[in-house]
Structure 1
């Protein structure tokens, strides 16, 4: 419908018209859309354009009540493509393919009832996924359905009412970490392996693994952040963390931005670490082609994450200490700082957490000195 707006004309004398179309939303609701055009010809063109657009939207699979969850996910990924990192999209892909699609991929989104979604939650629980893994799948699924509601594909998000997976009342085992004594035995085994390899082959390459683990324990940096480090990232007594390396993306290794904005940070270098880095630089400088752009761990090439896992196990067995994964070196760093009374806000900044609340949530059980301080307050007369 086209209707002139009374008393509304432009300076050139053209009449303003109100263009209104009626349509049925994908939710089945009857709705109206109103726009304003200048001049009758423009009003007719606008009416035709809007009518065709909403008619096609209703007929097509995209945006219709017949849209399946697979179709919605495809739209969602396109929309997110320019907003998140490639590694995040890959995580989405894995979670959707493994934990959502098998049960619900072919289901029309207008048929995602609360009971069906509860069945999905129950099914994940029965498969034995870790709580954090299930919570990650929920966040992705919830994001999908929120996206659908924003586009009027659904009147509301039925999953939101069910809530995320909650922790059961079980005692969680402590995270496996290295004490300083454990690490000294571990790193001594790594140093011995590097020395023996150099003597046998006249090659410094094994030292890269030794330096990697020294960095991990003494900085708490993430694996990808350490792999991405170049000599040019050292600035006086600090390490400038500005990039990461991802070796799990299609097409091979990729240098990316760090995990989040808060991950871009400067990390302090201890005296022991400064000594190790100085020794390692002297080794690399003896190799043809050395430059400030070389990786600290790897030189002209980046260390392979698979080899890191193998070396970690090899050194641990040689040292007679328990085997921990690479990320547990980060936990070891944090545990040591907290146990020695480190300020939680400063530790959070070193780790690249967005705020100290995250650090507290993960490591609160490691704060016995805070409990002692509380008891002192309670005992004051």
Structure 2
């Protein structure tokens, strides 16, 4: 069997488990591999052949170390697949090491702590924008997961959101909605009290615009999903107003994971909250759990946010607000009744601010 023949079986199998964007990445990398090994019998591809290939890519093709390592990574995936499915008896390239010489010093990832994020949050003067960045920081969801989220995937009663899709860019199609990155990315993420209240208040405003049709609308964008470009532009706008280290959109996810690692040693809880395939990814990159563990994490978020807040909420007022929010978000009522409930909620909220 040639490598090209094995690859065709491998990539068809992969398409079941990974998103289209990842499939395209593998396909693009294999084009380079196929030029060298495509017609070779897989029994002739061994450690010595791979080391010669690495040298060829570096010195004759002038590829970067990272690109060469990515190509070898695809080859290793193919041979692991071949071993698992009985196409080979021994993985002859398993011991091939990645190149670690001539590596440029990577740019250090910027991670914000809670105090830095709250400082950033002070510069946001738009409710939608505040919801965007608070969800990224306090939920640790991927930017694509945020952009594809619809209101029917948000539960205020359970204080959680359901991740069942993500936004991706696809060649020739633009920005589309696809299944999440991996099977494990399908998950339920619990919200802390402060984030839940922020999103509920935002929901009230959105419901006035869309009425009962709101459930199928995008949380961010309404009728039309916000683009990755617009989201990036939004971050750049607010960063320009601050003196904080320049974080990326994915940096909010790293920051969330780091914050959780400070709160808890339950790596399994953190891993499943982030939607990682296994805890090794969590440990390597950042350092279904039961709901009790997730609630413990969100309670820690609440406690830390509370310590940065100057005012204290009265328990009675909290209960009244929660009752009103439940009426607004869950129960069916006429437009007149809804206006009266919203006015009552706004009155209570105003009184709390004056306390």
TM-score interval for Structure 1 and Structure 2 normalised by the shorter chain: 0.5 to 0.7
Aligned residue number for residue 96 of structure 2: 163
2:225 equivalent among 299, 302, 305: 302
* Matched position secondary structure for 2:260: helix
CA radius of gyration, larger in: 1
Aligned residue number for residue 187 of structure 1: 121
* Matched position secondary structure for 2:177: strand
Distance in 1 (CA, whole Å) between partners of 2:263 and 2:11 is: 45
Aligned residue number for residue 150 of structure 2: 230
Residues 164 and 227 of structure 1, relative CA distance in 2, 3 Å threshold: farther
Establish whether residue 144 from structure 1 lines up as the match of residue 144 from structure 2. Answer: no
Q: Which consecutive unaligned segments of at least 5 residues does structure 1 have?
A: 1-62, 195-206, 365-381
1:319 equivalent among 215, 227, 242: 242
TM-score normalized with structure 2 length: 0.66
Q: Which consecutive unaligned segments of at least 5 residues does structure 2 have?
A: 288-355
Shift of residue 331, structure 1, vs aligned partner:
0.6
1:282 equivalent among 199, 204, 210: 204
Residues 341 and 146 of structure 1, relative CA distance in 2, 3 Å threshold: closer
Higher helix proportion, which one? 2
Residues 58-113 of structure 1: per-residue CA shift (max 9 Å, x gap): xxxxx5xxx5x55553454345444544333222113223x534554566656646
CA contact (8 A) 2:26 2:74 kept: yes
Residues 111-147 of structure 1: per-residue CA shift (max 9 Å, x gap): 64644321222455663343xx655533321333456
CA contact (8 A) 2:145 2:165 kept: yes
Shift of residue 181, structure 1, vs aligned partner:
2.6
Aligned residue number for residue 266 of structure 2: 343
TM-score normalized with structure 1 length: 0.62
Comparing 249-258 with 140-149, greater Cα deviation is found at 140-149
Residues 83 and 292 of structure 1, relative CA distance in 2, 3 Å threshold: closer
**Alignment length (residue pairs):** 280
1:128 equivalent among 38, 43, 64: 64
Distance in 2 (CA, whole Å) between partners of 1:256 and 1:284 is: 25
CA contact (8 A) 1:237 1:269 kept: yes
RMSD between aligned alpha carbons? 3.4
CA contact (8 A) 2:20 2:170 kept: no
* Matched position secondary structure for 2:216: coil
Considering Cα pairs closer than 8 Å and 6+ residues apart, tell me whether 1 or 2 has the greater RCO: 2
Distance in 2 (CA, whole Å) between partners of 1:223 and 1:165 is: 30
CA contact (8 A) 2:57 2:63 kept: yes
Shift of residue 314, structure 1, vs aligned partner:
1.9
